[in-house]
């Protein structure tokens, strides 16, 4: 098996929704005053060495649903909190969101090791289950309403958690993932020029992989919602078909959908219902989208699929002076129209982490605002010391002219609070060597290179 390019991604600019009336149902009607994202330690067995952040809305239900929301490679729980809409939906519907942070292999969730493919294996899935159990015990979480979602690496782990613990998770929503047991070992998860390593198996083989994880379990199996962009060149669009094979087979369904439609422009949906008419699997093909999901409105569709969009009283509108309360480790998402501010001289640090293979590489860039004032709108510039060429990016808009590169914030991450960070990444090509840039500037001000 050839190896998968590093699965590093973020969330892109919003997909425009044509039906305003539909979005008024799916999305919060008012920007509710946010609760605080808090870190939880000592949450139980943690063989995966994960960190746990928790979002409990102010209007949390007495018996709240639990959503486990998992980030992309290179990301973090607080980053997924600030760049997705699950917390604002929790404000409206009263459920709790767990945001774990991975620690292995460029902060990817482990779904390649043998331990990750067996129930109770001493790696990330056990740590994630400890988080779910903690919330059930400490917040009276509803064991009949536990759900998993995630993007890229987090989507892969969504598939794994539903396969390993089907009696715990009632449904999942996987954005840009691969089937459970896709990777035979860690080496298959490394960069190497093949973004579609998990094709060619039959539906029966994929379904057996799930069933073999729990040989004595007879159902009911979790419902699954799957998302993928047709122009995804990091995790190939063809992986969506493999996921469909796996979960339709688990549910004993035909691979021929019972319904197809286009609920939004460029959103092609296939639904697979059982004999009672219940949709057990649904798959969204997002036309023209790259490795950039979930986009605006998609989290709301996932929450609706979970059945959480009518079970709580909407939280009241905040007063005009109210502002979200965010812990120091979390970057809030202010208005994208903020004008760029210039940091004080020497008040920024850039950390550049490349991951190279012959002819290609990915890089993760962290901007740390070490000044005393927030940065509102950021642009990072550098010059390549070699012949590197950026081919795609996430969490930033990256342009290149010759050896000069410019990375600008996107709509959801324009601010870096004092003492806070912002992250973006990109994929590129090179020949010869791949030396690291020696100098970076933030909004025209030179930064220290860590």
Catalytically active residues are 152
Alpha helices in 291-338 (DSSP H): 298-306
Kindly state the tokens that stand for 23.
């979005």
- State how far the Cα of 151 lies from the Cα of 289, in Å rounded to an integer: 14
E strands along 135-213, which residues? 146-151, 171-175
Bridge partners (DSSP) of residue 147 are 67, 171
Identify which of 73, 194, 207, 57 has the alpha carbon closest to the alpha carbon of residue 135: 57
DSSP string, 41-99: ---S--TT--EEEEE--TT--SS--EEEEE--BT--HHHHHHHSSHHHHHHHH--EEEE
Identify whether the C-beta of residue 436 lies closer than 8 Å to the C-beta of residue 352.
Answer: yes
DSSP state of 319: P
How many CB atoms are closer than 10 A to CB 436?
14
Count how many Cα atoms sit within 13 Å of the Cα of residue 426 in the half-sphere of its side chain: 20
Kindly state the tokens that stand for 436.
């690291």
SS3 436: coil
- State how far the Cα of 148 lies from the Cα of 371, in Å rounded to an integer: 37
């Amino acid at each position: 098996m050839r190896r998968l390019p590093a699965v590093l991604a973020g969330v892109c600019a919003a997909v425009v929704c044509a039906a305003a009336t539909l979005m008024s149902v799916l999305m919060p009607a008012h920007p509710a005053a946010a609760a605080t994202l808090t870190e939880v330690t000592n949450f139980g067995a943690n063989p995966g060495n994960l960190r746990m952040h928790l979002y409990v809305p102010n209007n949390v239900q007495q018996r709240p649903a639990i959503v486990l929301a998992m980030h992309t490679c290179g990301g973090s729980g607080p980053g997924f909190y600030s760049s997705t809409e699950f917390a604002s939906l929790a404000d409206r519907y009263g459920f709790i969101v767990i945001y774990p942070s991975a620690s292995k292999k460029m902060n990817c969730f482990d779904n390649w090791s043998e331990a990750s493919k067996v129930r109770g294996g001493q790696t990330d899935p056990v740590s994630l289950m400890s988080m779910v159990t903690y919330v059930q015990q400490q917040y009276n979480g509803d064991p009949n309403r536990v759900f998993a979602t995630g993007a890229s690496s987090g989507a892969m782990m969504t598939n794994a958690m539903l396969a390993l613990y089907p009696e715990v998770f009632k449904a999942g929503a996987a954005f840009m993932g691969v089937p459970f047991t896709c990777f035979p070992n860690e080496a298959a998860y490394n960069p190497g020029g093949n973004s579609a390593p998990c094709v060619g198996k039959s539906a029966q083989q994929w379904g057996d992989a799930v069933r073999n994880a729990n040989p004595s379990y007879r159902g009911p199996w979790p419902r699954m919602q799957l998302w993928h962009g047709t122009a995804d060149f990091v995790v190939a669009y063809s992986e969506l078909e493999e996921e469909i094979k796996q979960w339709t087979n688990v549910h004993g369904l035909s691979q021929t959908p019972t319904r197809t439609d286009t609920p939004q422009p460029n959103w092609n949906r296939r639904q697979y219902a059982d004999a009672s008419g219940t949709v057990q699997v649904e798959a969204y093909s997002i036309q023209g989208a790259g490795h950039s999901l979930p986009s605006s409105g998609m989290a709301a569709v996932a929450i609706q699929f979970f059945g959480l969009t009518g079970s709580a009283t909407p939280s009241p509108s905040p007063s005009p002076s109210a502002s979200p309360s965010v812990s120091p480790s979390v970057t809030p998402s202010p208005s994208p129209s903020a004008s760029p501010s210039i940091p004080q001289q020497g008040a920024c640090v850039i950390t550049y982490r490349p991951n190279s293979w012959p002819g290609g590489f990915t890089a993760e860039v962290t901007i740390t605002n070490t000044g005393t004032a927030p940065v509102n709108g950021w642009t990072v510039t550098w010059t390549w010391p070699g012949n590197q060429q950026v081919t795609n990016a996430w969490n930033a808009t990256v342009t290149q002219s010759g050896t000069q590169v410019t990375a600008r914030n996107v709509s959801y991450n324009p601010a870096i609070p004092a003492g806070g960070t912002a992250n973006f990444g990109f994929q590129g090509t090179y020949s010869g060597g791949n030396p690291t840039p020696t100098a970076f500037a933030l909004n025209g001000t030179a930064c220290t290179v860590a």
